[in-house]
Chains A and B, each alone.
Chain A
């Protein structure tokens, strides 16, 4: 087919940008309604405590304060729902209430709500609410929380265990490890991270007393899901009584998927007071009370032969859930982690056991990559440990264990859907070539002689994108209590303009541009004539939203499918206009024409006009070109690639300098390379940040020590490298466009590339593993210990 518009595959700049670069976007806090009140929250300074008494009288008397509420006032609404109780989860998911009742389980737990005429007054009055607490002992470490005598958070969860889950074959893994030539054991901690979208979370709730309808503007990655959960589960009202609107959303990275207490208390207060209420969290509140990510303690054993074949993997993971169970917390360390722990390798025997554990910390849920970075870090760190143990080049060990192209679709034996397609070795080879691997090893040896410590780290990864198939994710055993399809409506208006409404919820991913490129090409209309709309449950068909790298592979395919339906209908109407048979019609380059006679044609605009005026349509054909698709893919997609980091360690200070970062990614077919690169850059940055800088750190008393941006090291431009990108392209057979997804790949691949490089640099000191982040002091101490034990090379 000869392309006319050829938008797909082009690096065109984003249509989202003009308003954002002029400060004309509308973010949540930009919304101002007549009569709007401002809410502020009294939060627990204790990690674990009984609430003995709350006295709101002084706060209520403060000028400008309209109301003060406590959890007891809001007992007429239900706690937040638990939407993803993975298979094997015991039914003891304790979810947060709008405000804590009786006790608090983490620092920052909401205890009372102040509503005032302005935000300064609300904040003033927070200090006037007197809360008497009876402090209880706290526990913050997931493994320790399961030990006898640990403080108990919830009576219904003995030993603080909320869920116990496994996959793979224990018998086979035990046997493989018992009989192996080589077994390497390690304790791997995937530290807690704080997602930190630059816009904190918030909402504005309005209640219409006349109709009993709510409108909720919210920083949401999934407004339809929020509407469903808040109405059907929390408020017990018809779903139609709530309209959710996500305006411009300032980053999410998972944190804006979940159903938070603040949505509920803001709605509740707006209804109670009959005035709109706004709640926007401070950054410090975002850190203490919104969800965190990762936080796994893992004991792992990898088994293999001396000639480099991995034969078994046994994993025990204690996944920290925090003080309560967050919306989809159950799915992250199970379905999206355990089932992909063997990575890109053919490992014949594997078993993964996971405990989801309550601790006195903020809730943990999906953060960019969600489970897959933890899995990828685990296996890639262990592949390096194994390679070092048998004295083999880490690249070679990877080659010897890769799943081969002919193995696809590949069943990894862990209950994952089959990997769709892949060809892992070319990506590895390309990355090695980009860093000039052979030469680097020489340079490294030379440098060591001069007392300079260079290191190179390889990460070959596979991830799960387009997280969707309802028949899998919603099934018993996976535990997401619903489907995970995506919707799209495509309409061609009388004037020939195309309007697409998607259930996806872009918040930086460039979906508005990408979808328009797809539609322009498929319909053969000018790119400028395609408009993409989203974000309002009143206007968009039900959709599950944007996360799990699913906007393009699932949401984009829904658009693609609707466009095909439009084309089919256009052919029927054009045939009628041309007095031809519908089966003889072809749709190409924006025209429907009679096969073999391209000048006997009607343009899409002409067809749309005919369909809209509707006075002459084929019998049985409805007016208007308007098609909706709910696309539920047969499988996820499995992007892959190899990332390589090169570092130099300053042994005087322990500081790691990330000198080069090379990434070869295969995300299937690419619609807009500029946008894919942007996604990869940002993803890599977040993984590098995990390896070197970030740690959501609680002390033993449950105090969050990294409670704001003065302490939590979100990297600046000066702390990150230049990324050198390469691609291979292995189209996905799962969807018609052959796309896979790119939103999380960078994050899933990068932390272990950097850590493997750090350990490689430190190998002359006999250092085999360090826990992330590789902070200067940690690295310096490891070197000091090694020197004291006489293992030093220098």
Chain B
């Protein structure tokens, strides 16, 4: 076995120190070492984005990064997104707008959406769809995900939002 490497990572505000195998992917460090199973694995080619987390302020695919690369980093996972019992506006948007069905892609989708709104607080529908190219959803057909992100964007800008309503 290859020599283990000591890493120190802040995950959701908690500092962790572990000896990890170099080949352990960040996603398995989060899931298996830390027990944070909200971050999912949906593919083996870095396409699906179900494993998206935030590392040092940016969304990354935690299946395309070794845990050793996160040494010294701050990581936020889906479990760390809500603050003081309040959902992040993106989480709220997904609930209000029926932006999820089976919920498997949802954590990654939400983390990618948070990244988008950090970079672009007022994205157009086209920009939202473009920004989701690294996240696959097989259930929703994406329309309600777009609505969810628009809801969150409006809320983050301090604009009024409308909750769950049917389209027609």
Give A contacts to B, CB under 8 Å.
11-14, 16-18, 20-27, 29-30, 32, 63, 120, 196-200, 248-251, 253, 282-284, 507-510, 673-675, 677-679, 681-686, 708-710, 714, 716-718, 720, 722-723, 725-727, 746
Contacts and interface: CB of A to CB of B under 8 A. Distances in A.
A118 B3 CA distance: 17
28 contacts: A11-B164, A11-B166, A21-B78, A21-B103, A22-B82, A22-B87, A23-B36, A23-B77, A196-B138, A198-B40, A198-B136, A199-B40, A248-B102, A251-B101, A251-B138, A508-B101, A508-B102, A678-B101, A679-B101, A681-B140, A685-B140, A708-B43, A709-B43, A709-B136, A718-B133, A720-B141, A725-B167, A726-B168
Interface in B30-83: 31-32, 36-45, 47-48, 50, 77-79, 81-82
Contacts of B47: 708-710
B168 A682 contact: no
B146 A507 contact: no
Interface string B129-154: 11011011111111111100000000
A509 B140 CA distance: 10
B103 A250 contact: yes
Contacts of A16: 103
A723 B24 CA distance: 41
A677 B138 contact: no
A27 B40 contact: yes
A32 B28 CA distance: 13
Given A11-B165, A13-B96, 7 more contacts: A21-B78, A27-B104, A199-B102, A508-B101, A678-B140, A718-B126, A720-B142
A13 B44 contact: no
Contact of A708 (B44, B103, B135, B139): B44
Q: Which of A23, A120, A722, A726 has the most CB of B within 10 A?
A: A23
A113 B1 CA distance: 22
B98 to A, nearest CB: 5
Q: Name the 6 nearest CB pairs between A and B, nearest first.
A: A23-B38, A250-B104, A20-B103, A685-B141, A508-B102, A23-B78
B132 A674 contact: no
A22 B98 contact: no
A710 B77 CA distance: 25
A684 B141 contact: yes
Interface of B: 1, 21, 23-24, 31-32, 36-45, 47-48, 50, 77-79, 81-82, 87, 91, 94-96, 98, 100-107, 110, 125-126, 128-130, 132-133, 135-146, 163-168
Contact of B138 (A20, A120, A197): A197
B110 A673 contact: no
A198 B137 contact: yes
Contact of A17 (B23, B94, B146, B165): B94
A282 B164 CA distance: 36
B103 A248 contact: yes
A140 B110 CA distance: 40
B45 A682 contact: no
A267 B37 CA distance: 24
B141 to A, nearest CB: 3
A24 B145 CA distance: 19
Contacts of B128: 717
B162 to A, nearest CB: 11
A181 B109 CA distance: 55
B167 A677 contact: yes
A199 B104 contact: yes
Contacts of A282: 44
Nearest to A687: B141
B44 A198 contact: no
B138 A198 contact: yes
A21 B87 contact: yes
A509 B91 contact: no
Nearest to B104: A250
A772 B150 CA distance: 34
Contact of B142 (A22, A27, A283, A685): A685
Given A198-B48, A681-B143, A718-B129, A727 B136 contact: no
Given A678-B140, A723-B141, A718 B130 contact: yes
B3 to A, nearest CB: 15
A250 B137 CA distance: 10
Contacts of A681: 140-144
A20 B136 CA distance: 16
B107 A23 contact: yes
A13 B129 CA distance: 23
A36 to B, nearest CB: 11
A120 B136 CA distance: 26
A314 to B, nearest CB: 35
A97 B31 CA distance: 33
Nearest to A509: B101
A32 B31 CA distance: 11
Contact of A508 (B42, B103, B110, B125): B103
Given A673-B166, A677-B167, A20 B44 contact: no
Contacts of A248: 102-104
B138 A23 contact: no
A674 B166 contact: yes
Nearest to B128: A717
Contact of A714 (B23, B78, B138): B138
A746 B139 CA distance: 12
Given A13-B95, A21-B94, A198-B137, A722 B143 contact: yes
Contacts of A284: 44-45
Contacts of A13: 95-96, 98, 163-164
A773 to B, nearest CB: 17
Contacts of B102: 197-199, 248-251, 507-508
Contact of A283 (B38, B43, B166): B43
Given A677-B98, A709-B136, A198 B104 contact: yes
A710 B133 contact: no
Contact of A682 (B37, B129, B139): B139
A299 to B, nearest CB: 32
B133 A717 contact: yes
B42 A200 contact: yes
